[in-house]
Amino acid sequence: MSTERLEAFSDGVIAILITIMVLELTVPNGAHLSDLKDVWPVFLSYVLSFVNLAIYWNNHHHMFYVTERVSGGVLWANMHLLFWLSLVPFTTAWMGENRFAPTPTAVYGVDLLMAGTAYYILQQAIVHAQGRDSLLARALGRDWKGKASPLLYTAAIPMAFVQPWVSYGLYVLVAAIWLVPDRRIERAVTEGEAPAAGAGQAARREGLAARGRRPGD
């Protein structure tokens, strides 16, 4: 099966989630900057969640660019990821509207941890469907970001009951790590296309030579 319908559905879900979050922002009663003090926790929560959803969309797009086909397992793994992402507007609003209280901040971290785990499962499902020699498998490499993120989330969740702002800082740190452009898949695509292009040119030269023609004739 091709990836087109899966990608279109996932794009639509993420777009809806971002729309839901921005619609939940409350306009302050007043026309002065000081009136924003009551809504800044909600706004900070929104910004972090927007960045996280954008990161997931970006990486999802790159991953499926090098995915040739999907299986039933890949479809369900993708739905598993979308389930946890669909909870982001709820956990975002709960954390922001309660001014980063311990329990909502911890639950927000649990959601991010489960979404990251679901993304890893999706990656592995694609690699299993395409084989260990696939372009995606080669591009992933050691995947230090994927390994560091759950560790940071795991540390941030209990920290919410000690100092919620430290937890928020760790969530921001994970997002910052992923904001740094990841060129693994782009490099893998470039390296994979170069040999193919070289092989195509060689075949063309051989074909022209067999017909007694020179390149450019």
Could you write out the DSSP letters of every residue in 12-44? HHHHHHHHHHHHTPPPPSSSSGGGGGGTHHHHH
Q: Which of 139, 141, 140, 143 is nearest to 191 (CA)?
A: 139
- Residue 123 CA: distances (Å) to CA of 33, 62, 63, 78, 182: 45, 11, 8, 9, 15
199 and 97 in one domain? no
pTM for this model (two decimals): 0.84
pLDDT of 71 reads 93
189 and 86 in one domain? no
201 and 129 in one domain? no
158 and 79 in one domain? yes
Q: How many helices (H) and strands (E) does the chain have?
A: 9, 0
Cα separation, 162 vs 152, in Å, equals: 16
pLDDT of 193 reads 57
91 and 193 in one domain? no
pLDDT of 203 reads 47
pLDDT of 202 reads 46
pLDDT of 201 reads 44
Q: What are phi and psi of 177, to 5 degrees?
A: -60, -40
Tokens of residue 72, six digits: 């039933």
Query: In which residue ranges of the chain is pLDDT below 70?
Result: 181-182, 192-217
123 and 69 in one domain? yes
122 and 98 in one domain? yes
**Domains contained in the chain, number:** 2
pLDDT of 33 reads 81
Taking each helix axis from N to C end, the angle separating 40-65 and 164-179, rounded to the nearest 10 degrees, works out to 30
Residue type for position 86: S
Residues of the domain holding 194: 185-217
pLDDT of 217 reads 52
Tokens of residue 68, six digits: 């040739």
Cα separation, 188 vs 50, in Å, equals: 28
70 and 121 in one domain? yes
pLDDT of 210 reads 56
Over residues 40-53, the pLDDT tens digits come to 999 999 999 999 99
111 and 215 in one domain? no
